[in-house]
Amino acid sequence: MLLQDERRLGSVMILGGGKYGTTAVKRLRGKAERVLVVDVDPDCQARGYADRTISSFEEPPAGVSFVLADGASFLASAIDRGTPPDFVVLTIPKNVMAALFISWAESFGMRVEFDVESMLKAAAGLPGRYLVARDTIFGVLVASYARDHTCLDGCMQPEVCPVSGERRGLSMLEIVKATAVGDYVRIFESKLLERDVGGVEGREILEAYKDFCSSLRQGMRMVIGTACRCHAIVNFMSIA
């Protein structure tokens, strides 16, 4: 069931205005009161579907707005102010949540190192058929039920994959959490807002920020990522 079937969406921030950001704009128009697309490219595809362009200091009005800015930095500013959107749609091709935690740690004068050893241990604990990639430079692990096939457009992430026929008893979020070991583990759930569009709750990010600030210490091992029923991306890091 789509989340928007259970309640009307309020404010949604879409980070990235490319192909997937554009899909999110099209799907969410009229389903959310306010949609804000954030991208560093003034000529990005999604901008053409916005009702207006606003500055990074303006409060987004009803409808679809575009702001020219770095997505991760813009979200960090909203969290710092304590004014997150209801949902954040992540379409930037990197682990935005990990970038957020790195910026928060650095704001306290801490240095973040990538924990490749912990990532490799977690990868070894995953069933091989789900392991998509292991980045031995940045300590990133990517896992998916769709390792060997392409997902259908508009997929609703049912219990039985419509392409492979595999029954997914556990979500990829649950599978990855079971292998992630660290002093601070936060894997955010991307909830299905519309077909092909998942979003992380803004209040969950704000709560994580407050918790992280009170937990931060040297030597702390962190596991930060985002996952849905079918896919996951996770960074393994430590505070130097």
pLDDT digits (tens, 9 = 90+) for 138-148: 999 999 999 88
| Residue 212 shares a structural domain with residue 175 | yes
193-215 tens-digit pLDDT: 998 899 999 999 999 999 999 99
173 phi and psi angles, rounded to 5 deg: -60, -45
- Using the 3D structure, point to which of 93, 124, 139 is the last residue of a domain: 93
Q: Are residues 44 and 102 in the same domain?
A: no
Mean pLDDT along residues 57-69: 95
In which domain, by residue range, is 212 found?
95-240
Same domain, 82 and 106: no
Q: How many structural domains compose the chain?
A: 2
Section 224-234 average pLDDT:
95
6 confidence band (pLDDT: 50, 70, 90): low
- Fill in the amino acid letter for 120: L
Which is higher by pLDDT, 196 or 42? 42
Q: What percent of the chain is modeled with pLDDT above 70? A: 97
What is the distance between the alpha carbons of residues 164 and 147, in angstroms, rounded to a whole number?
10
Alpha helices per DSSP H over the chain: 3-6, 19-28, 71-81, 96-107, 116-124, 172-179, 202-215
**Same domain for 113 and 85:** no
pLDDT, greater one: 1 or 165: 165
- In the listed set 40, 62, 93, which residue is the last one of a domain according to the structure? 93
Q: Are 42 and 68 in contact (CB under 8 A)?
A: yes
In a shared domain, residues 36 and 137:
no
Contacts of 156 (CB under 8 A, 6+ apart): 2, 192, 195
Residues 150 and 104 grouped into a single domain: yes
66 shares its domain with 131: no
Reported as a pLDDT band with limits 50, 70 and 90, residue 112 is very high
Looking at the fold, whether 48 and 120 belong to one and the same domain comes out as no
Q: Work out the pLDDT band at 156, boundaries 50, 70, 90.
A: confident
- Picking from 38, 64, 93, the residue at the C-terminal end of a domain is 93
Residue 222 and residue 210 share a domain: yes
Same domain, 206 and 105: yes
CATH number for position 87: 3.40.50
Q: What is the spatial distance between Cα 114 and Cα 117, in angstroms, rounded to a whole number?
A: 9
pLDDT class of 7 with cuts at 50, 70, 90: low
> Do both 140 and 228 map to the same domain?
yes
Q: How far apart are CA 189 and CA 231, in angstroms?
A: 10
Listed in sequence order, the residues at least 6 apart from 62 whose beta carbon sits closer than 8 Å to its beta carbon are 33, 34
Q: What is the mean pLDDT of the chain?
A: 93
Residues 235 and 145 placed together within one structural domain of the fold? yes
Q: Measured at the alpha carbon of residue 226, what is the angle toward residues 21 and 79, in degrees to the nearest 5?
A: 75
